[in-house]
A and B are shown apart, each in its own frame.
Chain A
Amino acid sequence: MNDGTSSPGTRVLGALTLIGMAVLLAFALVISPADETQEETVRMFYVHVPTALVAFGAFFLTVAASVGYLLRRSEGWDVMAGASAEVGAVLLAATLVSGMLWGRVTWGVYWTWDARLTLTALLFVLVLGYLAVRRLPLERERRSRLAAVVGLLLGPATVACHYATTWWRTLHQGPTITTADAKMDGTMLFTFFLGMVVFGLLYVWLLVHRFRVLWLEHRVEDLGLDEAIAERRREAVGVS
């Protein structure tokens, strides 16, 4: 039954995610109302904001796992950091694309270099750099150590990106959902929370799968190494 990276657990998670996505689509595109000023374009909020926040969370897990790796030097932490960054990169790409389309119809431009957008681009480039470091042809321990150090950079970059609208003057609007009060009507607010849950589930689901893929990559790598060593031994002993 072990023919890939799925297991009973991930199948349940996957089913929940797909059902959740269908419900989210119904709420985002049909049930929730249009906005007073933004009209239908507010429907991009429910994909833009949850993907951004979940991506930020993913990068924090990468930072935490990188710290874990630097302290413990265990393979699990290393693989966890890489898997979380991969899924985070996909979600942040979704944030960028949805944001550009949303910006085009509300601000009037696809892109502008305000602090929030600049720092989001920076964060995205940093994550791609981190993932590139993870593919450098180095000995695994050195590569993991290097990746963990680069992974730490995602921490300040994520924080700066998240608070950019508060710290600097931006075209991008400030946070809608704060602890004090949510500046959003009931059904819209519910749709947003549903979006957070569904994209959160999607993240965990993809994270488990990517963790297993990266783990398998290491095993295949080991296998190649073992074979090479065995071959060398045979060569050294001579043909029997």
Chain B
Amino acid sequence: MDVTPRPAPPEVPARRGSGGRGPLMALALVALLAAVGFLLVKQVGSASLYFYNADEAVAKRSQLGDRRFRIQGTYEGTATDVAADTIRFAIVFGGEKVVIEHTGSEPALFQPGTAVVCEGRWSPDGRVFESDRIEVKHSEEYKAENPDRVDPAAP
């Protein structure tokens, strides 16, 4: 019989096989916590007031100065080209009309009668809103397309 004193058995970790992933998981948690903080700041900061309606933007014109913000209204009339890459059109909301000068591309659903959100700032003289980004704020209503208007290009 072997009677030599044996060294004490090593401590058994509570979870075998995953000990090496501990620091990694802690790191992931810290990163996720930072992301949560960032998103909360984003939400409290800009996202809770995503846009000003056209009438509000007009009322706050002096206050807004040359700050960058978003403006919302219904696109009325037709857009006219003022430069190679710039169009001019009007949006209406709450009885106020704002002229937009937009530089850049327009989304596919950008058509008269749709609500749009433009991002940019008031021009220095405050007469037009200079936009470089248009987002179409489409409605939550869905209607079947007129079956008579068959698009031959559809696959």
Contact = CB atoms under 8 A, between A and B. Distances in A.
B54 to A, nearest CB: 13
Given A37-B114, A106-B107, A232 B138 contact: no
Contacts of B107: 106-109
Contacts of A221: 15
B29 A115 contact: no
Contacts of A119: 39, 43, 47
Contacts of A37: 109, 111, 114, 138-139
A225 B135 contact: no
B140 A114 contact: no
Categorize the interface residue count of chain B: 35 or more
B32 A238 contact: no
Interface in B39-87: 39-40, 42-43, 46-51, 72
A176 B141 contact: yes
B15 A171 contact: no
B39 A122 contact: yes
B14 A113 contact: no
A170 to B, nearest CB: 6
A82 to B, nearest CB: 14
A40 B19 CA distance: 51
A150 to B, nearest CB: 10
Given A119-B39, A231-B9, 16 more contacts: A35-B145, A37-B139, A40-B154, A107-B137, A108-B135, A109-B107, A115-B47, A118-B42, A168-B47, A176-B141, A184-B142, A188-B142, A224-B16, A225-B16, A228-B16, A232-B12
Interface of B: 2, 6, 9, 12-19, 21-22, 25-26, 28-29, 32-33, 35-36, 39-40, 42-43, 46-51, 72, 105-111, 114, 117, 133-147, 154
26 contacts: A35-B142, A36-B142, A36-B144, A105-B108, A106-B108, A108-B109, A115-B43, A118-B39, A121-B39, A125-B35, A126-B32, A129-B29, A129-B33, A132-B25, A135-B21, A137-B22, A137-B25, A138-B14, A139-B14, A140-B14, A168-B47, A171-B51, A173-B140, A225-B14, A232-B9, A238-B2
